[in-house]
Copies of this chain bind each other. A is one copy, B any other.
Amino acid sequence: MDSLTLISSPVLTELDKFRDLFNRSLDSNNELLNSALAHIMKKNGKMMRPILVFLTARLLGSVNDEALHAAASLEFLHTASLVHDDIIDESTERRGQLSVNALFNNKVAVLVGDFLLATSLKHSGLTKNYHIIDVIATLGQELSDGEILQLANISNTGFSELVYFEVIRKKTAVLFAACTKAGALSVHASDEMVEKLRLFGEYIGICFQIKDDIFDYSESKEIGKPTGNDMKEGKLTLPALYVLNNKPDGRITTLATKVKNLDASEEEIAELVSFVKDAGGIEYAEAVMDQYKQKALDILLSFPDNEVRKSLQVYIDFVIARAK
């Protein structure tokens, strides 16, 4: 059995219901909107976030309509932010197919993202749980806040690891944290339990983003985006920040500054990538990721050993070990 099958096996029925709900929500009379939505739906992704909502709910109780609509709301919000991020990053590809902005144009992509955000709001209301609505609204604010922070940070001169963690918390970790928090809220868990599971999701999210940032140093074609892509967008992530702050060197600082100013050539980016690799940047980032993995595991292992806990353990391993 592969990891994804193992992870989703306790919530297969729920995932079927989710898929049905998700697809039914994306039907409109508007031809242009419909064709954009159909394009997005072609590649559904691995449903990592709905699975996390359902497994968290199952860890404490069962999956009810609150969890189902919370998962739909979160997935729509996530999908909307991907559509808008591709405009921001001027990406032409998403999950191995053309991005909405590339297939149509930026205008259509802005509006399709807005439609998805409104659909997210619709499902948040259908949870009929004000705590969940607040989680999703706050998440929406943090995701855009995080992206703006990243935009602003590109033009900053510093190489702060602190700012990096603030960005990945607001950009990625909050989404995973919202999934586990909503899962816990859907079964009306205690405040203490909700906070514990929120943190559990946050740690997984931090691992997820560090892994994503490490991918950018990989030469594999499998990951679906070219190596050094972040640097082409002016972004310096954990491996480079570590080296910049701990292995001071005039040449690398010059290169990193050029990257931040969107001034670096392909060759210079390749030089910086190989410098970071040689100076142990990847190993450092992996070690930090492992620390967060351990924190997530510590929380998970406080729950009774059962099929759901096992799935969540494989979930964490999968986030760390996935090939893309």
Contacts and interface: CB of A to CB of B under 8 A. Distances in A.
Given A110-B88, A130-B125, A145-B115, A31 B152 contact: yes
16 contacts: A28-B141, A30-B148, A32-B151, A33-B144, A88-B110, A108-B151, A111-B144, A113-B114, A114-B117, A115-B141, A117-B140, A118-B143, A118-B144, A121-B136, A122-B141, A133-B133
Given A130-B125, A137-B121, A137-B125, A145 B30 contact: yes
Contacts of A117: 114, 117-118, 140
Copies of the protein in its oligomer: 2
Contact of A84 (B110, B144, B151): B110
Interface in A235-270: none
Contacts of A134: 122, 125
Q: 9 closest pairs, A vs B, by CB?
A: A118-B140, A125-B133, A122-B137, A114-B144, A115-B144, A121-B137, A32-B152, A118-B141, A88-B107
Given A121-B137, A125-B130, A134-B122, A148 B87 contact: no
A81 interface: yes
Interface residues of A, number: 45
A193 to B, nearest CB: 22
A83 B139 CA distance: 20
Given A84-B110, A122-B137, 9 more contacts: A32-B148, A32-B151, A33-B148, A33-B149, A81-B114, A107-B151, A111-B151, A115-B145, A117-B117
Contacts of A87: 106-107, 110
A119 interface: yes
Given A87-B110, A110-B87, A118 B137 contact: yes
A30 to B, nearest CB: 5
B108 A110 contact: no
A93 interface: no
Contacts of A141: 28, 115, 118-119, 122
